[in-house]
Structure 1
C-alpha cells in the first residue's frame, strides 16, 4: 500500500473512532505541595486501547489531518466532564485544549456555547489547559472567550512559563484562577542542578507576586519532590505521586504524609546556632580541576564569564590545592610569568595548603580557623570534605551571611532578657514532640512570690533574679548531660524545658538545690534573717511573703498521649498548682 493509501486508511480509521465515540480518558492527580491534598485531576484523552490511536499524539494528528480537531475536543471534554460529574469529586478537572483548536475563531465560540449550554453545570471545577505548543496569543484568545461568555468561575492553565513583562501583566489582571505548568525538563534531577533550582525559585517568586499558581509536571523521584517543596512550588504531578488511571484514585497516604512533613519542616522557624550548624550545610558544589591542568585552560575558565573567584584543585577526589583568581593573574603579571605559566601545569602556582574542613565542622569553628589565616589568604575559598573526598567550597562571605542570619533569627524569636527561645519556638518544639512517638518530659518552672519581690526590690533586681534562674537551669542541664534538650523562656518568671527522657528527678533536685543557695543573694541581710518580706497583697493590705522558691511541674507521655500544646499546658497548670501549695522549692512529676 502506498503512502497515500496509508494516509487514507489512517484518516478513515480515525473518523470511524470519532463516529463511534470510541474515546476514553485517563486521569492523573495534581496535588498540593503543602499538604499532599488533591487539587484536581488532569484528563488525558486516549483512543481505543491496543491501537495506534491510543497515543494522544497520533489521535490528535489524525484529527488535524481530517479537520476534526474541534469535534475531537468536544467529544473528549464532554466525556471527561460526564465521568467527573458522576464521581462527585469536590476537586478540579483539568482538560487540555490543542493549539490548532484556535485556528477557526467562529468554531471556538460555537464550541464554547455548546459546551456550556447546560445552565446547571458547575463551572467552578473546570480548568482549561493550553497544551505545550500553545502561544500566549492562544491563551489570550481563549481567556477573552471565557470572559465574553462571563464564565468567570472557570480557571485556565498554560503548559509553559511566559517570559516577558507584557504577558505576565496580562495574566496578573485576569479574574479567573490561573495555573502555569513547569515542564518536566526543568524538574528532572532538579535536586542535583543548582541552575534549575535558581530558575524555578525565580518563577515561584514571580507567581507569588502576581497571584498565579505553578504546577510541576513529571515528578518521578522522591528527591525531585523534596526539592520542589523546598523551593515553594505550589502543586505537582507525576509518576512518583500517581500514574494516570481510568478512575479518580486517592494519593497513597505515605506520599501525602511525606509532602506534608517536608513542607512543615521547610516552614519551621529555625533558631539555629553557629555552634551546631555544620559548614557542609552552606557549602556549594563548585567546579574543580586537576593539578595537571594548564595555566591557559585556567585562564579560559576565569575569562568565560562564570562568576568564579577561585577554583579547587582536586586529584582522585581529594583536594590538593586552590587557585584564587587574583593570585593567578598576579603570577601571570610577573616578568616572564605569562610565558612560563600559561603552558605549564597549574600545580606550580597553586596554593598547596588551602584551608580544608570536614562537612560536620561547626560554623563558629570554621570562622575561627578562617580568621587565623595570613592576611593575603583571608578571603580564599574554604574547601569542604565529606568522607575524605572533595565536596564543595565555602566563601568568607557565605560564612558571614549565614552567621548573621542565624543571629538575627535568634534575636527575632528569642526572649530579649535571657536570649532563650521564646513562645513561638517553644510551641513549635512542643508540637514536634507531641507528633513523635518517643519518650519526653516537659518541665514548667515558676518562681513563687516573685511579684512581691518585684514590688519591693524593683524591676531591675527582678530581672537579675530571672537571669540567675535561667543560668542555674542551663548549668544543671548541661552538668547532667541534658545539654541537647530544649530550654525556653515563656516570659516573666516562667520557663520550659523539654527533655527526651522520663528520668528527670535528679535534674529537678539539682536545680532546686542550686536555686535555693543562690536566691538568698538577692535579699538584704535583714530580710534573709526574717525569712520573709513585707509587701502589699492584691487587696492593698500589707502581708508577709516568704523568700522566693522554685516550683517545677513535670508532665510526660509515659501514660498519657497528648494531642495538643494546650492539653499539655492545661495539665501542667494543674500540677503547678499542687507545687505552689507548698511554701518551699519543690517539684512534682505527674
Structure 2
C-alpha cells in the first residue's frame, strides 16, 4: 500500500487531483452567509480520499507543503468560479512559510488574476495539526497581515496554549473548537467557558466563530449566549456546491426576535433627551459661546431645515480654537464647516436592540457616544451610548427573569402579553396548549436529568416546526408549553410536532421498555402501575376577540381543551369549539378534533 499510495500522491500533485469542498459559515443573528471554509479531498474511492489520511501521508513523504499549495490554488480558483459570497477561509500550516516550496506572492498573484481582493481571504493558522511540528510564530501572522489578508486562529481550546496564542498573535478572527460546542445546551461548565471567551473577544474586537454545530439545541444555546458566527453539520456539511442562500432556520429565528422586540421591546425614543442645537449656517463663534454657557453640554447637533446633518463636539472645537490662528481663521465660518458626520441618526421607532446592533457593527475607530433621534427625519433630541447600554442590560435582566431557564423560551408574562396584544388587535389566532402525558412517573422513574432533557426536546421540536414570523412559542413551566399560531396550517404543524415527538422520545427508553410500550413504577397512590410511553396532549382554542376580554379567559379555555386532549390518551389534538363564556362541560357533539 505504501508504494501504491506514494504513486497516487505523485499523480495527485502532478495532475492537480484535488477536489475543493466548501462549508458555509453563517452569521447566526441574521442567517446570511459570512464566508466559507475551504476543505480538500483526494481522488474519490482511493485510500487518499479523506484529509485525515491524505495530509499525514504527504507529511510522511516530505511533500506536505506541495500538497497544501495545490489545495490553496484549487480552492481559490473554485471559489471564484462559483462566485461564492463572503469571505474565503484557507487552512495554512505555519511551517509552510519557512519551506522552500513556499513562493512569496503566489497567493496574491492568483487572487489578482481571478479578480479577488485579499481582504476577502482569511488565513486560518493552527498549531493543532499533527503534521505541523514547527508551531505558530509572529512571522506567520505578520507575513499575511502585511499582504492585506485577515488572520484567524483555528481550534481555540483544543490545546493548552490557545489563550496564549490569542494574546500574543492578536488575530482578526478566532474559531472556537468543537469540544466546547458539543452538548453545550446540557453542560453548564461549557456555557461558562464560552461566555468568558465571548467577553474576551468583544474586548479585543475579535470576531468569534463556533465550529462543529451539529444539533439545533446547540445552535439555540449559542444564539442565547451571543455567539454571532458559526458553522457545522446542522447548518450544512462541506459540499462541492454549497448553499449560497440564507439559512431558513436562522432567518426564522431572527424574524421572531425582531418581532418580539418590536412588540415587547422599547424603542430608541426612550433614550431621547431634549437638547440645544445649532443651525448649519450659524458662525462658530456662537457655537463656542453656547458651549461656554452650557458646561454640561459636550456635543451640539447641527441642523439644516430641521434635519440633523452632523455634530460638533466640545473638545474638537476647543482644539481647533487653541491652535495658532485657529480662532481667527474659523470663528466666522459656519457650523457645517467643521461638523462631524460620524454620528448615528436613528428614527424614533427603531428598537433598542437594533440600535445596539448598529453600535456593535461600527468600526472601532469611528465609535462615538451620541445618538441623534429623529421622527420622520426631523430632529427630536439626543441619546447617549451609556444610557443605551444601561437600558439594554436592564432589559436583558428583565427578559431573563421572564424566560424559562431550561428552554430559554418566553415564560408566562410574555405569553400573557402576546395574547392580550392579539385580542386588542382583534386578530384571528389559535392557542395550542401542549402537555406531556405520564411525565411525573417518567421523572420519578428515570430522574430529573432525563426529565429535563425531555422538556428540552419538546422546546426544540416546537422551535423547529412552529417558528415563523407570525407564531409565538412560550414555556408556561414544567412540561407545559404554548404555541400561538397565526397561520391556517396550525393543524398540520401540530400533527408534525406529534410525529416528531413520538419518533424522538424513544431515545430515552431502553429496548425492552419500548417493546413493552411503557414502564412499571409507583403511581401517586404508591401502587406499582404500568405507564405508557410519554406522549403529547394538545388542546387548541380559537379565541373570539369580541368576547374574550383578557388572557385569563383564553387560559381557562386552553386548559379545558388540554384536559379533553389528555382524557383521550396518547398523542392527541383536541380543538375546543368557540365559546362566549367559560363552561366546565362541553356537549360531545359540539367538540371538534383536528384531523
State the TM-score, normalizing by the size of structure 2: 0.48
In our comparison, the structure showing a higher alpha carbon Rg is: 1
State the TM-score, normalizing by the size of structure 1: 0.48
